[in-house]
Amino acid sequence: MTFGAGNRMISPDQHWITATGADGILRIYPVEGGQPRNIPGLQPQDASAGWTADGSSLYIYRTNEPTPVKVYLVNIATGQKKVWKEINPADSAGTSGISLQVSADGKSYMYNMWRELSDLYLVDGLK
């Protein structure tokens, strides 16, 4: 099981925590113990960027999606999904993924991107 970053993985009522199982699917787990709950419609590589203030939905994005990255608001009971925002860095050259956190009120967010850059050299005249 893999846990998300920061304190945004714990639900506002502090009864649930988001974590990714060995199968790569994000689920919510009861803090007091017990069986996890599936969130309808989630796929492997879906990650949580945080809970909404009322605890009814999660901000979901795909960790390996090329830019622009779509962030969805997903209702944890019904799986109803709607696009919340598209994250498109000013310079996305070499971007291979992002990590994202959204505030509970949805007014602020922060992200970190991974880049894979390299240099190519051409050499002539070697024997």
Q: Whole-prediction pTM value?
A: 0.81
Q: What Cα–Cα distance (Å) separates residue 17 from each residue in 1, 82, 112?
A: 12, 22, 22
Report the pLDDT value the prediction gives residue 34, as an integer from 0 to 100. Answer: 92
Residue-wise pLDDT tens for the chain (127 aa)? 555 544 468 999 999 999 988 888 999 999 999 999 999 999 988 999 999 999 999 999 987 777 788 999 999 999 999 999 998 887 777 777 788 899 888 999 988 877 788 888 888 988 7
At position 39, the amino acid (one-letter code) is I
Non-local (6+) Cβ contacts of 30 within 8 A are 15, 16, 36, 37
Report the pLDDT value the prediction gives residue 28, as an integer from 0 to 100. Answer: 94
**What domains can be seen in the chain, in order of their start residue?**
2-115 (2.130.10.10)
Contacts 24+ apart (CB under 8 A), 30-38: 37/76
Report the pLDDT value the prediction gives residue 62, as an integer from 0 to 100. Answer: 87
Using DSSP bridges, classify how beta strands 26-30 and 37-38 pair: parallel, antiparallel or unpaired: antiparallel
Name the nearest CA neighbour of 48 among 78, 79, 8, 104.
Answer: 8
How far apart CA 89 and CA 109 sit, in angstroms, is 13
CA torsion 24→26→31→36, rounded to 10°? -80
Q: What Cα–Cα distance (Å) separates residue 44 from each residue in 41, 60, 63, 80, 118?
A: 10, 12, 10, 17, 29
At position 20, the amino acid (one-letter code) is T
Report the pLDDT value the prediction gives residue 38, as an integer from 0 to 100. Answer: 94
